[in-house]
Amino acid sequence: MTSRLRRLFVCAFFVVASSPMMAQDYPSKPVRILIGLPAGGGADLLCRYFADQLAKATNQTVVVENRPGAGGNLATQAVASAKPDGYTLLFSTSNPLTGNFYLYKNLGFKLSDFAPITTLARAAFVLVVSGKSDIHSVADLTKSLKEKGTRARYGAPTSISLASAEIYLDAIGVNAQRVPYKASAMAATELAAGDLDFFFMDSTGVKGPAERGQVRMLAVTSPQRISLAPDVPTMQEQGVADFDMTPWFAIFAPAGTPQDVRDKLEGLLNAIVKTPETKAFLSNAAADPYPGNPDVLMATVRSQSEKYRKLSEAGKLPLAAE
């Protein structure tokens, strides 16, 4: 064999050895999953559940790394710049790769920096009013808000809560005062005290206040009812046409992650999503299974991004600090 043929043979060997066979051995070392929220919250609990299940499925260590701050941007940027080998993943809520493009300036990442893997779960936000009020339906609330006009006040503890409120207000033709909050619990306290007319509360935190009579649930933002509160109608059922602001949870990898590794992750995660154990866990966490694939995930991203774009162009989204 000539030296030239020998070099060609060696090159061909390494090309073959480093391609589809990579997924057979993946993961061969610990995997990190970054989440842009603090430990202990509802999204963090979901992330840790899926990390634990992935570890069991692969017999490999899966570490959850919390990097809260800037609306999830810190963790998202870290994954965007990570080595695209499948060992650094992003557990993303719906905001960082949709609404944050319209809420923050000079982000250190763009959507094309990520390879979508799959959706995992979805929840809802819940339109709530004070448990002491005489309002028992969306129609009641709409009537009250129209009577108050610009004196009406709503709470905005998160970007999805804010966007949901503005979509609703636009649908009924009311301009209400926005009151920002750092946490839903603070908004719920002031709602119960009569300082707010309404706000949209994360389903993972609404159960306790509702059971205590602090808030009353009127409708959910998803197009389908949720397992947490099957008797609570959707906004669409309550007459707000085409209303859909569904928070979701998904896994992304850095762009350039090998396709066979992405395919293996998609298969592993969807197998986890579809188990009865996962359904029961998510139900207790006020969420529902949302199996998918890269196409489903990107369609979900594009749909929600369009809602934020329209709100931004209408001047309804306050720009956060850089």
77 and 113 in contact (C-beta within 8 Å)? no
| pTM listed for this prediction | 0.84
Instruction: Tell me the domain boundaries of the chain.
Output: 25-123+247-313, 125-220
Calpha distance 303→243 (Å, rounded): 12
The phi and psi torsions of 309 (rounded to 5 degrees) equal: -60, -45
Q: Is 133 left (phi over 0), alpha (psi -120 to 50) or beta?
A: beta
With vertex at residue 54, the alpha carbon angle to CA 49 and CA 59, rounded to the nearest 5 degrees, is 130
Superfamily classification of domain 25-123+247-313? Bordetella uptake gene, domain 1 (3.40.190.150)
* 25-123+247-313 and 125-220, same CATH topology: yes
Calpha distance 202→315 (Å, rounded): 24
Q: Under CATH, to which class is 125-220 assigned? A: alpha beta
Q: Which amino acid is at 98?
A: T
Coil/strand/helix, residue 123 = coil
- One pLDDT digit (tens) per residue for the chain, 322 residues: 555 545 544 444 444 444 454 578 999 999 999 999 888 888 999 999 999 999 999 999 999 999 998 889 999 999 999 999 999 999 999 999 999 999 998 899 999 999 999 999 999 999 999 999 999 999 999 999 999 999 999 999 888 999 999 999 999 999 999 999 878 888 999 999 999 999 999 887 888 899 999 999 999 999 999 988 999 999 999 999 999 999 999 999 999 999 999 999 999 999 999 999 999 999 988 899 999 999 999 999 999 999 999 999 998 888 764 4
Q: In what side-by-side order are the strands of the sheet with 114-122?
A: 62-66, 31-35, 88-93, 248-254, 114-122, 288-289
